[in-house]
Amino acid sequence: MSEHILAHLSSADPVLGGLIRAVGPCALTVRAEVHPFQALARAIAHQQLNGIAANSILARLVVSCGQGAFPTPQMLLSAPVATLRAAGFSAAKVAALRDLAQKTLAEVVPDAAVLHLLSDEEVIERLIQVRGIGRWTVEMLLMFHLGRPDVLPVDDFGVRSGFRAAYGLRRMPPPKVLRAFGERWKPYRSTAAWYLWRAVELKRAGRLPLPAERVRLPRLAKRRRSAAARSAHSARRSRRTLPQGPTPRPRRNSGRRRARKA
């Protein structure tokens, strides 16, 4: 990791600078040799599972479908659903894997060389077309497989927890607030995110430094209602505040009373 990047982040943000000094050099590694199909298939396997369980399922997939190697998209599509279920994939994950394989063959999911020609947002828009693949998963691909330097996964629980710990906040920062605050880390937000993950580890070990200064989070302007929305809101409030008259007493059945007199 370039000393220039760490110097830039430390100068732009003293709190992050203190965290960088406490952690030491950045060890963010990129696995550029892995095809996006394999990276996304592994991500699907890891969803809602711990690493040991997910790796066991992937190992069974390699044996049953890939003949000892990670299966190709065509191998995965040719495998019976029962074989994929026997490996440990849920029905939803089987559907996601098969959709990933189909979209890889259709070149919706291309190889890394093609993805390198696209911007971060273009890669995200393209890959989230795959069933079961969301923005966070693609952001991990951008950081750890495509080596993009300026990715800030603001929805990541670990990043938000690390920010809360490192900056001495009482509450978890909302994603939009974290995104606005992180503008100062450009164009190296991937490195900043890596250090925020490490902040969680330092806190657990009791070695997290106190923030170098008090931080004020940006205040985001609330969206103003349109004229139609304001009018509807006023009408609802008026109906709620109108004085209510006395409840009318039910009228008696005069016909029955006349019948009794007769």
Residue finishing a domain among 205, 222, 244? 205
- Look at residues 159, 186, 205 and tell me which one is the last residue of a structural domain: 205
Instruction: Give the Cβ contact number of residue 96 at 10 Å.
Output: 22
Q: Is there a catalytic annotation at residue 156?
A: yes
Is the per-residue pLDDT at 229 higher than 70?
no
First-to-last alpha carbon distance for the chain, in angstroms, is: 106
Name the DSSP letter for residue 61. H
b or e along 4-43 (b: 16 or more beta carbons within 10 Å of the residue's beta carbon)? ebbebbbeebebbbbbbeebeebebeeeeebbbbbbbbeb
pLDDT tens by residue, 58-85: 999 999 999 899 999 999 999 999 999 9
pLDDT band at 262 (very low <50, low <70, confident <90, very high): very low
Residues of the chain with pLDDT > 90, as a percent, come to 76
Residue 226 in this model has a pLDDT that exceeds 60: no
| Local confidence band at 215 (pLDDT 50, 70, 90 cut-offs) | confident
> What is the domain extent for residue 61?
36-144
Instruction: Kindly calculate the radius of gyration of the chain based on its CA atoms and give it in whole angstroms.
Output: 28
Candidates 99, 120, 150, 156; catalytic one: 156
The enclosing domain of 165 has a CATH number of: 1.10.1670.40
Residues 136 and 44 in one domain: yes
Boundary residue ending a domain (98, 118, 144): 144
Q: In terms of domains, do 155 and 134 share one?
A: no
User: Quick check: 10 and 2 in contact, CB under 8 A?
Assistant: no
- Provide the token pair at 249: 């007493």
Region of poorest pLDDT, from 132-141, 188-197, 231-240:
231-240
